């Protein structure tokens, strides 16, 4: 009985996480009214880094004070944390920049579903690492390609540049996930995320200073979408994901979190009055079906 109650609570936390991440696409779209992609991404990641500091402090207090292990043991741990954090941060920064640039023309709903393609891309990239995806994954790939075609290609005009950038971001997000998968399990997940936000912020800031004119007043004008994406989407969303996944089966958790794309489409329609066309809706259904297929458990080969 207690176990069922914990599972229900965990599922509710993951559903809230998907809602937060889905509505963050609207905040990203609104932020484009004030800042360029690089400046917005830099500020968002810096805020996300700062937002996780209280989470790290709280987790440290829960663990309690532990005896010092000495400088020799602590240094390799820090080196690994910052090394993997830098690798993840560069990929996260690149993926977020591509997504943000694509959202200059792509609607939040469309961007949400195109970004969700990473769930299908990850197992396909696993082929190069010796991991064989099952038939359901390949069926998902076919559905995802059809869905992306309906979402992004209109008539003979070809794929829109903004949609292409969002699809490219999904590929980089997939690489980001694979790198995290190879990171040592001994690394603290929240600290790793904090470091990657810092690195992604620095990377994006350098590009902003080189290519985008912006001022501090521009950042202040975008304070609402910046705080939502930085504090709520990054800090709160990441923490809720950790708490929710403790009591929920990983496959079920992935399916719940994939609802992020659905919430993105609904938020874009309700808040920004950006409904999807019938053709785009069919594409969304196909992409979501592909995401579900990619997450379903499969029988292991003998």
Residues 6 or more apart in contact with residue 22 via CB below 8 angstroms: 112, 259, 260, 261, 262, 263, 264, 265, 266, 267
List pLDDT tens digits, range 107-135: 888 888 888 888 888 888 877 777 777 78
C-alpha torsion sign, points 220, 223, 229, 234: positive
| Structure confidence at residue 96 (pLDDT) | 92
CB 226 within 8 A of CB 31: yes
List pLDDT tens digits, range 9-51: 888 888 899 899 999 999 999 998 899 999 999 999 999 999 8
Q: How confident is the model at residue 297 (pLDDT cuts 50, 70, 90)?
A: low
CB 24 within 8 A of CB 231: no
Find, among 241, 213, 205, 189, the residue nearest to 47 by Cα: 205
| Total Cβ atoms within 10 A of residue 214 | 18
Which pTM does this prediction carry?
Answer: 0.83
> Residue 159 pairs with which residues in a beta bridge?
153
Q: How far apart are CA 78 and CA 187, in angstroms?
A: 9
Q: How far apart are CA 1 and CA 242, in angstroms?
A: 22
Q: How confident is the model at residue 73 (pLDDT cuts 50, 70, 90)?
A: very low
Q: How far apart are CA 232 and CA 212, in angstroms?
A: 26
Q: How far apart are CA 126 and CA 140, in angstroms?
A: 15
Q: How far apart are CA 246 and CA 230, in angstroms?
A: 24
Mean pLDDT, the chain, whole residue set: 83
CB 123 within 8 A of CB 174: no
Average pLDDT on 188-213 reads 91
Q: Would you say how long the chain is, in residues? A: 302
Average pLDDT on 193-220 reads 92
3-state helix, strand, coil in the chain (%, to 5): 80, 0, 20
Percent of the chain with pLDDT strictly greater than 90? 30
């Amino acid at each position: 009985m207690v176990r069922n109650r914990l599972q229900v609570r965990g599922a509710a936390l993951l559903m809230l996480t998907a809602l937060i991440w889905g509505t963050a696409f609207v905040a990203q779209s609104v932020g484009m009214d004030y800042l360029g992609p690089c400046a917005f991404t830099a500020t968002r990641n810096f805020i996300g880094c700062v937002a996780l500091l209280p989470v790290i402090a709280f987790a440290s207090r829960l663990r309690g004070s532990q005896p010092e292990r000495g400088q020799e043991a602590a240094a390799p741990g820090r080196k690994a944390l910052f090394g993997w954090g830098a690798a993840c941060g560069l990929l996260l920064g690149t993926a977020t920049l591509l997504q943000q640039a694509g959202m200059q023309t792509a609607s939040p709903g469309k961007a949400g579903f195109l970004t969700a393609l990473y769930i299908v891309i990850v197992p396909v990239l696993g082929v190069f690492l010796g991991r064989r995806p099952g038939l359901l994954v390949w069926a998902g790939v076919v559905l995802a390609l059809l869905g992306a075609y309906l979402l992004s290609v209109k008539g003979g005009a070809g794929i829109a540049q903004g949609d292409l950038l969002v699809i490219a971001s999904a590929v980089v997000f997939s690489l980001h996930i694979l790198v995290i998968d190879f990171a040592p399990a001994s690394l603290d997940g929240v600290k790793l995320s904090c470091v990657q936000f810092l690195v992604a912020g620095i990377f994006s800031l350098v590009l902003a200073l080189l290519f985008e004119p912006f001022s501090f007043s521009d950042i202040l004008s975008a304070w609402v979408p910046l705080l939502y994406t930085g504090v709520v989407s990054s800090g709160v969303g990441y923490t809720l994901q950790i708490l929710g996944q403790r009591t929920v089966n990983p496959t079920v958790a992935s399916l719940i979190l994939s609802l992020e794309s659905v919430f993105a489409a609904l938020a874009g329609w309700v808040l920004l009055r950006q409904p999807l066309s019938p053709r785009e809706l069919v594409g969304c259904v196909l992409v979501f079906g592909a995401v579900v297929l990619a997450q379903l458990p499969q029988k292991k080969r003998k």
